[in-house]
Amino acid sequence: MKLLVTGGAGFIGSNFIRHILNKYKTYKIINLDKLTYAGNLDNLLDVASNRRYKFVKGDICDAKLVDKLVPQVDAIINFAAETHVDRSIMESGSFIKTDVFGTHTLLEAAKKHKTARYIQISTDEVYGSIQKGSFTEKSTLSPNSPYSSSKAGGDLLARSYFVTHKVPVLITRASNNFGPFQYPEKVIPLFVTNALEDKQLPLYGDGKNVRDWLYVTDHCKGVDLVLHKGKDGEIYNIGGGNEITNLELTSLILEYTGKGKELIKRVADRPGHDRRYSLNCAKIKRELGYAPSTNFKQLLKSTVDWYAANLWWWKKLKDRDFGSYYKKQYKI
């Protein structure tokens, strides 16, 4: 099988590429990535020379480029997206362009060239916040940020191409990912690297917002199952089953980095901050045999250890324009 992985230089996309190349010894991958601030070819140094892997620098909104690449592959897995809620609140235009118009460009090419499979990678945030219980694939979409709204827009567009044009679309919606190579604007790598540098950890509000955490390789395994066994037109929730408050998460990070709670800095809550995300993943478990890892604390500790051992990877990211953004955002 030949795959077009968009956004493959990002956190989840790069881990997915590595997973596929290691598992399927005859598969070939084209990685299309614009290399925005969070796209990083250092994420894929270990596969860069693999003859079954090819990198193409480009934008999924570039219809001519997409039209050139899509006929070469059997399936499209669209990881390409602007994803950070904070940035979407400050500047939403790029989110709409990439997450909606970029998805449209890929779907048009898939329709034109009769691509065998198109997977839209989405997020639990499209469902909004839930106080009790968990969202199923049939739950109403109720996004509360420009980021989640742009992802919901892409999802609905993908669904419409299945219904109207019979494009073999599948949609996955995952909970919060964590693991190696995650750009250090997201909460776990931000807090881990700040703790390692004895910098403050900016904790929103009362810290009682709840997230379900999914180890990135478990997410990759779930997408792999959907790629090979999923039913066209279906949506699959992919969760880790590890719900924890942000305050509890922060305490664990401080414990694993050997730092004290004096590093915690309470900051004003984010506008429209969702209180709790929770996914019901019975469908993918029942129909496709998905089973995530169960030891969250062990996986979090191994993630902390990875960042501690790989300063070469994240230090230069935080030392460029990243630092000024977060000093402004959190006043630290």
Place of tokens 């009769």: 114
- Give the whole-angstrom CA distance, residue 82 versus residue 299: 26
- Give the whole-angstrom CA distance, residue 204 versus residue 178: 19
Active site residue 124: yes
Nearest to 201 by CA among 245, 252, 264: 264
Stated as kind and residue range, the H or E segment containing 100 is none
Query: Exposed/middle/buried for 23, CB within 10 Å: 0-12, 13-18, 19+?
Result: exposed
Active site residue 99: no
CA 248 to mean position of chain CA atoms: 22
Helices (H), the chain: 11-23, 63-69, 85-90, 93-96, 103-113, 146-165, 187-196, 216-229, 246-257, 282-288, 296-309, 311-317, 323-330
Catalytic one among 147, 236, 256, 290? 147
Catalytic one among 33, 125, 218, 274? 125
Active site residue 125: yes
- Give the whole-angstrom CA distance, residue 240 versus residue 279: 9
Nearest to 66 by CA among 115, 116, 21, 122: 115
Exposed e or buried b for every residue in 271-293, given b needs 16+ CB within 10 A? eeebebbbbbbebbbeebebebe
Whether 168 and 121 have beta carbons less than 8 Å apart is answered as no
Catalytic one among 59, 124, 218, 224? 124
Q: Which residues are catalytically annotated?
A: 124-125, 147
